[in-house]
Amino acid sequence: MKHLLYIGNKLAQHGITETTIETLGPLLENEGYKVIYASTKKNEYVRMLHMLLSVLQNRKSDYVIIDTYSTSSFWYAFATSQLCRLLGKKYIPFLHGGNLPRRLTKNPEICKMIFQHSYYNVAPSHYLLEAFRKHYTNVLYIPNVIEIRQYPYKERNNPQPKILWVRSFAKIYNPAMAVEVLDAIKKTYPLAVLCMVGPDKDGSLFLTQKMAHDKKLDIVFTGKLSKKAWTKLAQEYDIFINTTHFDNMPVSVIEAMALGMAIVSTNVGGIPFLLEHEGNAILVADKDTHGMVSGIQKLLEKPELYKKLTSGARTKAESFDWKMVKENWLKILQ
């Protein structure tokens, strides 16, 4: 039996949105791997210490997988990877941050210390694959995974302006744009509704709620929901909007594609590597509220386009099923 140490932010028990460590880890366990996780500690400094101690305590593990982001969590990857180097451990950065390409140019020497010496760097999007292959050769593409059986596809024959937004409330995900979209779409569709699902990350939830109150918009804010709860809730909505400023390969968007909602998204970061304009989604420029409203209207006015995009999105989502992806992981972890 192979032993793995998985380093990442395993914080769902604290009300934080699930990350890859909480989906990929159990799937690898089901394939027969022994997986140790670090860390569930909520305090950032305690979490860093726990991660480093876990590397020391599990120095006999065969591989160390490190979820690697582009903002503050980047330093978890840096610290743990350097300890792995010191101990001669094979470590695999799993690249998630939509702003990692900027990090490569902003901190080239620090990045070199992590990514040049890794066993492999795993990119879950062609966006990051292309960015990293400009600098390193040990880069592989393995997409984010879902278990498609957990996402029942609902065919919507009469789509309505029922809009769903699912993400953590943070400035980089631009939740305010969702409020602006509802405010604008109500001028044409007075019965339009918006539900926003996710926990607060940086104070943006309060600001978004205040904005909704000031505009006299009745928006449903659910807070964090379990995957089972929000996928059930999604059956009541027909349009999924993604308003982010930066992105890589967002699992929430892949999940929405699997569930049969039409996607309208900003065309940023890795999004154009996942979504094709009028192929499986409607894409608009960053901050383009008018464009997003127009995209929603087009979907509501053209049922044949809605059907084409949702069918194409489901087909694309099926390619991320664990059964399709797992051999890539098993090959590098053999």
Is the pLDDT at 249 greater than 90? The verdict is no
Question: How many Å apart are CA 224 and CA 15, to the nearest integer?
Answer: 6
Q: What is the pLDDT of residues 124-169, one digit of tens each?
A: 999 999 999 999 999 999 999 999 999 999 999 999 999 999 999 9
Is the pLDDT at 72 greater than 90? The verdict is no
pTM: 0.90
Q: What is the pLDDT of residues 250-278, one digit of tens each?
A: 999 999 999 999 999 999 999 999 999 99
Residues of the chain with CATH 3.40.50.2000: 3-142, 148-319
Bridge partner list, 141: 123
Mean pLDDT of 311-333: 97
Report the amino acid identity of residue 219. Answer: I
Per-residue b/e over 138-172, b at no fewer than 16 CB within 10 Å? Answer: ebeebbbbbebeebebeebeebebbbbbbbbbbeb
β-sheet with 63-68: strand ranges across:
34-38, 3-7, 63-68, 91-95, 121-123, 139-141
Tell me 12's DSSP state: G
Superfamily, domain 3-142: Glycogen Phosphorylase B; (3.40.50.2000)
Domain at 148-319: CATH code: 3.40.50.2000
Question: How many Å apart are CA 317 and CA 311, to the nearest integer?
Answer: 10
Q: What is the pLDDT of residues 190-211, one digit of tens each?
A: 999 999 999 999 999 999 999 9
Per-residue b/e over 49-86, b at no fewer than 16 CB within 10 Å? Answer: ebbbebbeebeebbbbbbbbbbeebbebbbbbbbbbee
